[in-house]
Amino acid sequence: MGCQAYFPNPQLSCKLPKYIPNYLSPLPRLHPLKPRLFHPISSTTTATESPVPTADDVVYEVEFRTLGGCKLGISRYPDFEYNAEGGRGNGRGVKNEEDDEISVDFELKSVYIPPLTTATTKFLGLPLPPLLKIDIVPELFRGTINQESGKIDLEFRAKFWFSIGSVYRAPPLVVETVLTSEESNGKMKKGRGERLKNNAELEGGSCRLVGVATVQPIDDVFLNTFLSLPTECLAVLNASISLSPT
Of the pLDDT bands very low, low, confident and very high (cuts 50, 70, 90), residue 44 is very low
Task: Write down the mean pLDDT value for the chain.
Answer: 83
pLDDT reading at 173 higher than 80: yes
pLDDT value of residue 98? 76
pLDDT at 57: 80
Segment 4-33, tens digit of pLDDT = 444 444 444 444 444 444 444 444 444 343
pLDDT at 131: 94
CA angle 128, 73, 130 (to 5 degrees): 10
State the Cα–Cα distance between residues 155 and 168, nearest whole angstrom. Answer: 30
Dihedral (Cα; 123, 126, 128, 130), 10-degree rounding: -170
Taking the C-alpha atoms of residue 132 and residue 191, their distance in angstroms, rounded to an integer, is: 26
- 176 and 139 in contact (C-beta within 8 Å)? no
Q: Give 203's pLDDT tier (boundaries 50, 70, 90).
A: low
User: What integer is the mean pLDDT of 164-170?
Assistant: 95
Residue 56: band (very low, low, confident or very high) from pLDDT cuts 50, 70, 90: low
**pLDDT given for residue 91 in this prediction:** 97
pTM: 0.77
Q: How confident is the model over 151-162, as a mean pLDDT?
A: 97
More confident call, 67 vs 34: 67
At 106 the pLDDT is 98
- pLDDT (mean) for 152-180: 97
